[in-house]
Amino acid sequence: MASLVGSRVERKEDKKFLTGKGRYTADITLAHQTHAVFVRSPHARAQIKKVDITKASKSPGVVAILTGKDLADDKIGGLIAGWKIVSEDGSDMKVPAHPALATDIVNYVGDHVAVVIAETLEDAKNAAELVNVDYKILKAVVETEKAMDSDAIHKDIPKNLCYDWLLGDRSKTKAAFDSADKIVKIDLRNNRLIPNAMEPRASIGDYNPSTEEITLYTANQNPHLTRLVISAFNAVAPEHKFRVVAPDVGGGFGSKIYPYSEDVVIAWAAKKIQRPVKWVAERTESFLSDCHGRDHVTHAELAVKSDGTVVGLKVDTIANLGGYASLFATVTPTYLYGPLVLGLYNIPAAYCNVKAVYTNTAPVDAYRGAGRPEATYMIERLMSKAAMELGMDQVDFRRKNFIKQFPHQQALVHNIDSGDYDAHLDKALEIADYKGFAKRKSDSESKGKLRGIGFSTYIEACGIAPSAAVMSLGAGVGLWESAEVRFNPTGNVTVFTGAHSHGQGHDTVFAQIVGDKLGVALENVEVVHGDTDKGPFGMGTYGSRSLAVGGTAIDKACDKIIAKGKRVAAKMLEASESDVDFKDGEFIVAKSNKKKTIGEIAFACYLPGQYGEIKSPLPEGDEPGLKETAFYDPINFSFPAGTHICEVEIDPETGETKLDKYSAVDDFGTIMNPMIVEGQVHGGVAQGVGQALYENAHYDETGQLVTASYMDYTMPRADNFPELKIDYTCTPATSNPLGAKGCGEAGAIAAPPAVMNAVVDAIGTDISMPATAEKVWNACKNLKKTNSKAA
Amino acid sequence: MKKITLEVNGKPVVKEIPDNTLLSSFLRETLNLTGTHVGCDTSQCGACVVHVNGKSIKSCTALATDVEGSKITTIEGLASNGKMHPMQEAFKKMHGLQCGFCTPGMVMSAVDLLQNKKNPSEKEIRDWLEGNICRCTGYHNIVKAVKEAASKM
């Protein structure tokens, strides 16, 4: 039988999307539904003196107007931060109250003040205009690096400091620096990004008075956890009376991992008014109130010997959390960032200090890569700078410091199980035609253009995550994954996963795994996800975890199916269980021609007796049915790594940066479907290029988000890219039986430093992201001035 | 309110709607053709692209009353007799979609490109699709899909 795993299997889910039959939350219409519009703060920081709904309540079509006071009266809890971080001085992180609808104070433009529910969307919009909120405007705290020296925006949180966290050993690092021949320093800003999944967030609440159950349809990557949080912390409904459905979801990139204020309010409101309530974000609302990503200011220093050996690293970062601490906000700049600052290099001594600050901006949380892009950007820019200052070749300097032996215990947290970094570097140099760069550079120069090449040899920690390890670091949840594999009596299979697909192609890849493992045709495997009423509790999709953790849970459930199948087959074939082998969907008795297909075995499991010619006795002690569940908790993170090489051509007269060549060689361990993996790399790289060249969330000094539309926030478009060259190397992960490492975030992690190192190489001076035409043009102009002065 | 008569995906439609109804809302809410998506509020993302008399337009930026008497084709009307259009087939074959949200607009836009130009170059494809934003694919396989469709049409 031809193997499905490893093949370019076309996606099972594509037809519905291509024919307009996808069903996203906004596509759902319930009988008697009402429409909700949120009244949001127009100010970055203000006291709410009064919310007057008198006039709005009389507006046509209004069903209800609910405020923070109503939430408090109903004892609905606020939003939570799910990962406890402890500061270097041993104190716990400081987290402000985060009511789903503000009562006393608003902390960013777009913060939620009231919800207007009406018969039509137009009625709700009109009434929302009439809600009169009396604000006392306060001075906003906006800039990341100034937050600690500004007014405290939350009660009892001095200096706006959530935590001052340290990873690593300061004294050991100092000793390493004392022994160094050279210290290379860099100051970096990791620009704030807005995730911009193409489907704006949406929520529909529906209360069933007969079962007293609330159903929340929501554009979410993580329906089980969303149900748990809204149930346990917001107390909207007990878990067994609360169903969360995340139907087709139009991209997430982290921004849909967590429950938002809107989810809490819409679920609660539906029960309160006893009618379905539908809310769909407009894009401007998404810009204002989706969690943003990145926003770090970092100073880092690298201690190097004159032969190019790196001996130590110091990293000091200020991370902006925005107005409140969102669900995974506190872990993103700490345990998802700090351990990764070492990159894939053997650096024996290091520390990473992170001060996380509150500002009057939208909450910042996990965005594709979450901490790892920030770490990679820092170390890869620093490595390039160090190579330049040492007068060493970029490639040789990196290669010299690569980790070469596996497993490798890093100086900070991670034990890397497998890898071969020379292999992906060599392959990348080849597909990028590094040898031809000098000629291309001189060709560019002859046209008056500047050409630069940039390297990014990156590593990430994925397969999130071994529960005991992360819980010891403060995680408020275990990060295992679940699966249920259900053989139906007629021989087809339904697979339930706790992971969630919103573009990743799980319907196909998980079916490939099951198809191969159980010998069932792909069209006879259905993958089900996104509904808490179907399948076991799961932890959702983020952190490149779905295959390594969720896929393994499926694999293990299949193992249990096969084990039971062997017992049943042995009984039916009157053989010893140890003589029964399972291959390509058949149970075969060794050294005989006796066999049963898995379909026959499944049928027998559901008909355990004699009926006419059907004779299928179950072994003693075995229950009828053929359905198995597995919960898989990984034993380690997985560590994808790779080399990305970028070439840019810059016109110094206009500052325009053209991405001319981009080559990526990644080691994702074992690959299930190369077509899908390539798609993940393309998309990740595009987001990384977006960060490097185009995207920037900009707040002005009063805390107004200046870039709150596609007219102002530059999304990468089709004409911004050349054809991307993609290849792989493979060292299988040893921490899961599939050998999978994860591929979803790699591009977004690797690309920003590859692109920026190329830009810096071309123009010969440091520049911050995004390298817009204006910035590059100014840098070229200033450089020209400096050069002419020097001459 | 205004009564409008038009043809949508080959079927006659007569509806009475408020004068200010956007074509995208008319398709999604009045006709329940939810394959046409709305991804922004500034006519930038292109998820709402449909054909009006064979020409691609952003349906979020047209009033339904303004296309009175027109022939509208939405993503739901592109397949014929249950067989996907070559552009839809090409998107599937080349993995030109991931989350699927931008896909209807992307496909409708790409079909119009090939109506105008039989064998567009890579640059022409990229330039044409500049008005459609995709966050998942990096456009790479979308461009490949359009080339593939061009070779089949």
pLDDT per position as a tens digit, A14-31: 999 999 999 999 999 999
User: Using 50, 70 and 90 to split pLDDT, how confident is the model at A621?
Assistant: confident
Question: How close A763 comes to chain B (CA, Å)?
Answer: 26
User: Using 50, 70 and 90 to split pLDDT, how confident is the model at A418?
Assistant: very high
Decide if A311 is inside a domain: no
- Chain A residue numbers with beta carbons less than 8 Å from the beta carbon of B8 are none
**CA–CA separation, A29 and A9 (whole Å):** 34
Q: For tokens 């956007």, what's the residue?
A: B22
Q: CB contacts < 8 Å between A and B, how many?
A: 178
Question: B98 and A15: CB-CB below 8 Å?
Answer: no
Burial label, A622 (beta-carbon count in 10 A; 0-12, 13-18, 19+): middle
Residue A487: phi, psi to the nearest 5?
A: -80, 125
Using alpha carbons only, what angle is made at residue A352 by residues A640 and A79, rounded to the nearest 5 degrees?
80
Considering the domain architecture, whether residues B111 and B48 belong to the same structural domain is answered as no
Considering the domain architecture, whether residues A628 and A666 belong to the same structural domain is answered as no
Averaged over A453-471, what is the pLDDT?
94
Half-sphere exposure of A294 (CA within 13 A, CB side): 33
- Chain B residue numbers with beta carbons less than 8 Å from the beta carbon of A710 are 40, 42, 44-45, 133
Question: How close B98 comes to chain A (CA, Å)?
Answer: 4
The pLDDT tens digits of the residues spanning A694-718 come to: 999 999 999 999 999 999 999 999 9
| Nearest residue, CB atoms, A710 vs list B45, B92, B142 | B45
Considering the domain architecture, whether residues A38 and A78 belong to the same structural domain is answered as yes
Averaged over A1-15, what is the pLDDT?
92
Q: Residue A200's closest CA among B58, B47, B109?
A: B47
Considering the domain architecture, whether residues B58 and B116 belong to the same structural domain is answered as no
Q: Which residues of A675-707 are buried (b: 16+ CB within 10 A; e: fewer)?
A: bbbbbbbbbbbbbbbbbbbbbbbebeeebebeb
User: Using 50, 70 and 90 to split pLDDT, how confident is the model at A791?
Assistant: low
User: Using 50, 70 and 90 to split pLDDT, how confident is the model at A477?
Assistant: confident
- Chain B residue numbers with beta carbons less than 8 Å from the beta carbon of A715 are 133, 135
Which has the higher per-residue pLDDT, A465 or A48?
A: A48
Domain boundary (B77, B108, B136) is at B77
Domain boundary (A563, A598, A632) is at A632
**CA–CA separation, A587 and A579 (whole Å):** 10
Q: What is the pLDDT of residue A603?
A: 93
List beta partners, residue A487.
A493
Question: A718 and B135: CB-CB below 8 Å?
Answer: no
Q: What's the longest Cα–Cα distance across chain A?
A: 101
The pLDDT tens digits of the residues spanning A317-345 come to: 999 999 999 999 999 999 999 999 999 99
| Nearest residue, CB atoms, A17 vs list B39, B42, B100 | B100
Q: What is the pLDDT of residue A492?
A: 97
Considering the domain architecture, whether residues A441 and A503 belong to the same structural domain is answered as no
A743, A665 contact by CB (below 8 A): no
Q: What's the CATH code of the domain at B46?
A: 3.10.20.30
User: Using 50, 70 and 90 to split pLDDT, how confident is the model at B33?
Assistant: very high
The count of domains in chain B is 2
Question: B41 and A282: CB-CB below 8 Å?
Answer: yes
**CA–CA separation, B145 and B153 (whole Å):** 12
Q: Residue A424 gets which letter from DSSP?
A: H
Q: Among positive and negative, which fits the CA dihedral A509, A512, A518, A524?
A: positive
The count of domains in chain A is 3
Q: Region of B138 please: left (phi>0), alpha (psi -120 to 50) or beta.
A: left
Question: B140 and A27: CB-CB below 8 Å?
Answer: no
Averaged over A157-167, what is the pLDDT?
98
Residues in chain A: 791
Domain that holds residue B148: 86-152
Question: How close B69 comes to chain A (CA, Å)?
Answer: 24
Decide if A530 is inside a domain: yes
Decide if A9 is inside a domain: no
What radius of gyration, in Å, describes the C-alpha atoms of chain A? Answer: 28
Considering the domain architecture, whether residues A578 and A674 belong to the same structural domain is answered as no
Average pLDDT, chain A: 96
List beta partners, residue A527.
A495
The pLDDT tens digits of the residues spanning A573-615 come to: 999 999 999 999 999 999 999 999 999 999 999 988 887 877 7
The pLDDT tens digits of the residues spanning A78-95 come to: 999 999 999 999 999 999
Considering the domain architecture, whether residues A447 and A516 belong to the same structural domain is answered as no
**CA–CA separation, B52 and B71 (whole Å):** 6
A24, B101 contact by CB (below 8 A): yes
Q: Which residues of A581-617 are buried (b: 16+ CB within 10 A; e: fewer)?
A: ebeebbbbbeeeebbbbbbbbbbbbeeeeeeeeeebe
Choose from B41, B43, B98, B111 for mutation: most chain A CBs within 10 A: B98
Quote the pTM value.
Answer: 0.97
A286: CB partners within 8 A, 6+ apart: A194, A196, A200, A201
A587, A580 contact by CB (below 8 A): yes
Q: What is the pLDDT of residue A237?
A: 98
Decide if A381 is inside a domain: no
Averaged over A765-785, what is the pLDDT?
93
Q: What is the pLDDT of residue A786?
A: 78
Domain boundary (A612, A632, A652) is at A632
Averaged over A106-110, what is the pLDDT?
98
Considering the domain architecture, whether residues B42 and B94 belong to the same structural domain is answered as no
The percent of residues above 70 in pLDDT, for chain A, comes to 99
Question: A253 and B135: CB-CB below 8 Å?
Answer: yes
| Nearest residue, CB atoms, B93 vs list A10, A196, A253 | A10
Question: A718 and B37: CB-CB below 8 Å?
Answer: no
Q: Residue A106's closest CA among A195, A160, A42, A56?
A: A42
Using alpha carbons only, what angle is made at residue A193 by residues A319 and B125, rounded to the nearest 5 degrees?
155
Considering the domain architecture, whether residues B52 and B116 belong to the same structural domain is answered as no
**CA–CA separation, B67 and B17 (whole Å):** 13
Considering the domain architecture, whether residues A506 and A551 belong to the same structural domain is answered as yes
Considering the domain architecture, whether residues B55 and B99 belong to the same structural domain is answered as no
Question: B129 and A717: CB-CB below 8 Å?
Answer: yes
Considering the domain architecture, whether residues A428 and A514 belong to the same structural domain is answered as no
With a cut of 70, say whether residue A290 has pLDDT above it.
Answer: yes
Q: What is the pLDDT of residue A610?
A: 82
Considering the domain architecture, whether residues B42 and B105 belong to the same structural domain is answered as no
- Chain B residue numbers with beta carbons less than 8 Å from the beta carbon of A123 are none
Q: Count, in order, helices (H) and strands (E) of chain A.
A: 19, 30
Using alpha carbons only, what angle is made at residue A482 by residues A480 and A483, rounded to the nearest 5 degrees?
150
**CA–CA separation, A290 and A279 (whole Å):** 14
Question: A710 and B103: CB-CB below 8 Å?
Answer: no
Domain boundary (A632, A654, A685) is at A632
Tell me which amino acid residue A770 is: P
Q: Secondary structure of chain A: what % helix, strand, coil (to 5)?
A: 30, 25, 40
**CA–CA separation, A339 and A351 (whole Å):** 9
Considering the domain architecture, whether residues A616 and A670 belong to the same structural domain is answered as no
Averaged over A192-205, what is the pLDDT?
98
| Nearest residue, CB atoms, A683 vs list B34, B78, B137 | B137
- Chain A residue numbers with beta carbons less than 8 Å from the beta carbon of B98 are 251, 503-505, 679, 683
Q: What's the CATH code of the domain at A527?
A: 3.30.365.10
- Chain B residue numbers with beta carbons less than 8 Å from the beta carbon of A21 are 35, 76
The percent of residues above 90 in pLDDT, for chain A, comes to 95
**CA–CA separation, A277 and A496 (whole Å):** 28
Predicted complex ipTM: 0.98
Considering the domain architecture, whether residues A644 and A625 belong to the same structural domain is answered as no
The pLDDT tens digits of the residues spanning A222-280 come to: 999 999 999 999 999 999 999 999 999 999 999 999 999 999 999 999 999 999 999 99
Decide if A146 is inside a domain: no
**CA–CA separation, A453 and A437 (whole Å):** 8
A98: CB partners within 8 A, 6+ apart: A78, A79, A80, A324, A325
Burial label, A146 (beta-carbon count in 10 A; 0-12, 13-18, 19+): middle
Using alpha carbons only, what angle is made at residue A177 by residues A175 and A183, rounded to the nearest 5 degrees?
175
Q: Residue A754's closest CA among A681, A677, A685, A651?
A: A685
Choose from B75, B95, B122, B134 for mutation: most chain A CBs within 10 A: B95
Considering the domain architecture, whether residues A120 and A46 belong to the same structural domain is answered as yes
**CA–CA separation, A295 and A291 (whole Å):** 12
- Chain B residue numbers with beta carbons less than 8 Å from the beta carbon of A249 are 99
Alpha carbon distances (Å) from A426 to A59, A343, A627: 68, 18, 46
Question: A718 and B137: CB-CB below 8 Å?
Answer: no
Choose from A9, A12, A16, A198 for mutation: most chain B CBs within 10 A: A198
**CA–CA separation, A450 and A185 (whole Å):** 26
Domain boundary (B29, B47, B77) is at B77
Considering the domain architecture, whether residues A641 and A625 belong to the same structural domain is answered as no
Domain boundary (B54, B77, B100) is at B77
Question: B133 and A723: CB-CB below 8 Å?
Answer: no
Decide if A376 is inside a domain: no
List beta partners, residue A482.
A631
Q: What is the pLDDT of residue A790?
A: 67
- Three-state DSSP string of A392-413: CCHHHHHHHHECCCCCEECCCC
Q: Residue A551 gets which letter from DSSP?
A: I
Question: B135 and A502: CB-CB below 8 Å?
Answer: no
Q: What is the pLDDT of residue A408?
A: 98
The residue of chain B with its CA nearest to that of A745 is B136
Question: A18 and B140: CB-CB below 8 Å?
Answer: no
With a cut of 70, say whether residue A1 has pLDDT above it.
Answer: no
A711: CB partners within 8 A, 6+ apart: B42, B44
Domain that holds residue A768: 388-463+636-790
Strands A349-358 and A310-322: parallel
Decide if A45 is inside a domain: yes
Considering the domain architecture, whether residues A260 and A111 belong to the same structural domain is answered as yes
- Chain A residue numbers with beta carbons less than 8 Å from the beta carbon of B39 are 198-200, 250, 283
**CA–CA separation, B38 and A780 (whole Å):** 41
Averaged over B10-30, what is the pLDDT?
97
Q: Which residues of B101-139 are buried (b: 16+ CB within 10 A; e: fewer)?
A: bbbbbbbbbbbbbbeeeeebeeeebbebbebbbbbbbbb
Averaged over A27-44, what is the pLDDT?
98
Q: What is the pLDDT of residue A787?
A: 76
Q: What is the pLDDT of residue A612?
A: 80
Decide if A520 is inside a domain: yes
